[in-house]
Amino acid sequence: MSKGFSQRSPAWKLDYDAYSIHCRWMERVIQIAEIAGKAGDVPVAAAIVDEEGKLIAEASNRKERDRDATAHAEILAIRAACQIEQNWYLKNCTLYVTLEPCPMCAGAIIHARINLLVYGIDDPKTGAIRTTVNLPDSASSNHKLAVLAGIKESECRQQLQNWFIQQRNR
């Protein structure tokens, strides 16, 4: 038998367990984004989870509600997490967000030293992780950010599309 398949906890099993955890957190942020959408904001939400899998902070986009250009879900979640942790350095944390972060949020994620970024869909307009620009791998970044894109992608896409259709039909 080949070595890789005879282990008690094969690598693919660990990978699948990690994937399942990412899917569950993404389902949660999709639910939070739905509430933002009903309140008139573009449905985007984020959550920050520590290395033990404990939720530190979560937030949705509040740009319209707060009349604040910086009130993106990731920024609000990072601010809340830093307050809770009493530290700007969010070491070994994972940030989940439904949409690829914009340049402002990608910058904040890098500054907070988030370990892993998990997001649902690419943003063709302002995505700053890989779509319009790759900030984490650019010369402006002093932090190595691991990224997983496309988790619960179709659900995230559907949610945004439905919201924009509803806004148009208002």
At 71, give phi and psi (nearest 5°). -80, 50
Smallest distance from the beta carbon of 100 to Zn ion, in angstroms? 9
What SS3 class is residue 49? strand
Q: Does position 72 bind Zn ion by CB under 5 A?
A: yes
Please give the size of the binding site for Zn ion, defined by CB under 5 A. Answer: 4
Residue 129 contacts residue 100 (beta carbons within 8 Å): yes
Among 102, 110, 118, 128, binds Zn ion (CB under 5 A): 102
Q: How many CB atoms lie within 10 A of CB 83?
A: 12
Answer yes or no: are the C-beta atoms of 129 and 136 closer than 8 Å.
yes
Burial class (CB in 10 A: 0-12, 13-18, 19+), 79: middle
Query: For residue 18, what is the enclosing H or E element?
Result: helix 11-38
CB atoms within 10 A of CB 47: 24
Nearer to Zn ion, 72 or 152 (CB): 72
Alpha-carbon distance of 23 to 154, in angstroms, equals 12
Nearer to Zn ion, 21 or 149 (CB): 149
Candidate ranges 4-12, 56-64, 104-112, 157-165; the one touching Zn ion (CB under 5 A):
104-112
Stretch that binds Zn ion, among 13-21, 82-90, 98-106, 113-121 (CB under 5 A): 98-106
As measured in angstroms, the least distance from the Cβ of 1 to Zn ion is: 49
Q: Which of 29, 36, 105, 121 binds Zn ion (CB under 5 A)?
A: 105
Q: How far is the CB of 14 from Zn ion (least distance, A)?
A: 32
Q: Compare residues 45 and 56 and give the one whose CB is closer to Zn ion.
A: 45
Can you tell me the distance from the alpha carbon of 65 to that of 137, in angstroms, rounded to the nearest whole number?
33
Q: What is the closest distance, in whole angstroms, from the C-beta atom of residue 39 to Zn ion in the complex?
A: 18
For Zn ion, the closer of residues 62 and 72 by Cβ is 72
Active site residue ranges: 74
Q: List contacts with Zn ion (CB under 5 A).
A: 72, 102, 104-105
